[in-house]
A = this chain, B = another copy of it.
Amino acid sequence: MHHHDLLSRLVHPAPGKIVLLVLDGVGDLRTATQFRTPLEAANTPVLDELAAAGSLGRIVPVATGITPGSGPGHLALFGYDPASPEADIGRGILEALGLGLQLGAGDVAARGNYATADAAGNLTDRRAGRIPTSECERVTAKAAAALGDLPGGRVELFPGEAHRFVFLARGDGLSAALSDTDPQELGVPPLAVHATEPEAAATAALVTEAVARIEAAIADEPKANRVLLRGFSRLPALPSLPSLYQMRFGAFAGYPLYRGVASACGMEVMPCGKQIGEILDAVTAAWDRFDFFFLHVKQTDQAGEDGNFDAKVATIEEVDAALPRLLALGPEVLAVTGDHSTPAPMKGHSWHPVPLLLHAPHAFVDDCRTFGESAAIAGHLGTFRSCELMGLLLAHAGRLQKFGA
Contact = CB atoms under 8 A, between A and B. Distances in A.
A379 B382 contact: no
Contacts of A6: 63, 66, 83
Interface residues of A, number: 68
Contacts of A405: 69-71, 89, 91, 94-95, 231
A298 interface: no
A151 to B, nearest CB: 30
Contacts of A7: 65-66
A66 B395 CA distance: 7
Given A66-B400, A72-B403, A388-B64, A362 B82 contact: no
B373 A346 contact: no
A32 B346 CA distance: 39
A365 B66 contact: no
A30 interface: yes
Interface string A48-77: 000001000010001111111111100000
A382 B353 contact: yes
B10 A32 contact: no
A63 B391 contact: yes
Contact of A31 (B68, B365, B394): B365
Interface string A389-405: 11111111000111111
A17 interface: no
A362 B377 contact: no
A94 B35 CA distance: 47
A66 B403 CA distance: 7
Count copies of this chain in the complex.
2
A1 B83 contact: yes
Interface of A: 1, 3, 6-7, 10, 29-32, 35, 53, 58, 62-72, 82-83, 88-89, 91, 94-95, 231, 343, 345-346, 349-353, 362, 364-367, 373-374, 377-380, 382-384, 388-396, 400-405
26 contacts: A1-B83, A7-B65, A29-B362, A31-B364, A31-B365, A62-B403, A64-B384, A65-B392, A67-B395, A67-B401, A67-B403, A68-B404, A70-B405, A82-B403, A82-B404, A83-B403, A88-B404, A89-B404, A91-B405, A351-B400, A353-B382, A366-B377, A374-B380, A377-B378, A378-B378, A382-B382
Given A62-B403, A64-B391, 19 more contacts: A3-B63, A7-B66, A30-B366, A31-B362, A31-B364, A32-B53, A32-B365, A58-B382, A64-B384, A65-B393, A66-B391, A66-B403, A69-B405, A70-B405, A88-B404, A94-B405, A346-B362, A352-B364, A366-B374
